[in-house]
Amino acid sequence: MNTDESLAARLKELRLKQAWSLDQLSEQCKLSRATLSRIENGEVSPTAHALGRLCATYSLTLSRLMLMVETDDTPLLRRNDQPVWEDKKTGFVRRSLSPPSDTLMGEVLECTLAPGAKITYPQPPKPGLEHHLVLLSGDLSLEVEGTTYDLTPGDCLRYRLFGSSTFKAHKSRGAKYHLIIL
């Protein structure tokens, strides 16, 4: 089973564990029933926006969900073995450098946004998550709960997330950053 198929199966399992119908899940996460059905049946790969809404509904970080899909709890994770997920629609690529585990609290992500890409998360998967974002290259505009921060390479933005966030890469350069989540 590939990552998309495993993700579809895990999302369906999470819904059934809650004893929710597709209509009930649709009401909770504000995605259409048809979209949810296509995602759970593996007919489409979910976008970052859709996964953000689903993770918030299930009170999971995206990394925790992906860990449930790609479980590997070894202490050393070589670059070629690090899980990568891509949202082709938005040009977002997420590499899990240090995935979450049962024994460790933090996680480290390497994220790349294509030039002009924009991703909005209406709410965090868990209120109060601590984020440390270090911009490696490009230019990134990050709006956290109504406050906008324009980052250039080497900048670090530290925050706790309780509300919405929007990541927007510069039109010509894109952005590559590390995100540490605690």
Alpha helices, H only, 21-160: 22-29, 33-40, 48-58, 62-69
Q: Residue 36 is encoded by which pair of tokens?
A: 């949810």
Q: Residue 177 is encoded by which pair of tokens?
A: 């950053």
Give the residues across from 70 on adjacent strands.
none
Between 150 and 96, the higher pLDDT residue: 150
Name which of 96, 118, 123 is nearest 178 in CA terms: 96
Instruction: Give the pLDDT confidence score for residue 71 in this predicted structure.
Output: 60
Q: Are strands 129-138 and 175-181 parallel, antiparallel or unpaired?
A: antiparallel
Domain ranges for the chain: 3-67, 75-181
pLDDT digit string, tens, across residues 138-153: 999 999 999 999 999 9
Over pLDDT 90: what percentage of the chain? 65
The domain made up of 75-181 is a member of CATH 2.60.120.10: yes
Between 13 and 103, the higher pLDDT residue: 13
Instruction: Give the pLDDT confidence score for residue 3 in this predicted structure.
Output: 77
Instruction: Give the pLDDT confidence score for residue 25 in this predicted structure.
Output: 96
Instruction: Give the pLDDT confidence score for residue 83 in this predicted structure.
Output: 85
- Phi and psi of 3, rounded to 5°? -60, -45
In angstroms, the Cα distances linking 45 to 1, 6, 35, 59, 108 are 14, 11, 10, 20, 23
Between 176 and 59, the higher pLDDT residue: 176
Matching CATH number, 3-67, of 1.10.260.40, 3.40.1440.60, 3.40.50.10420, 1.10.10.10:
1.10.260.40
In the block, which residue shows the tokens 């199966």?
9
Q: Do residues 6 and 35 touch, judged by C-beta distance below 8 A? A: no
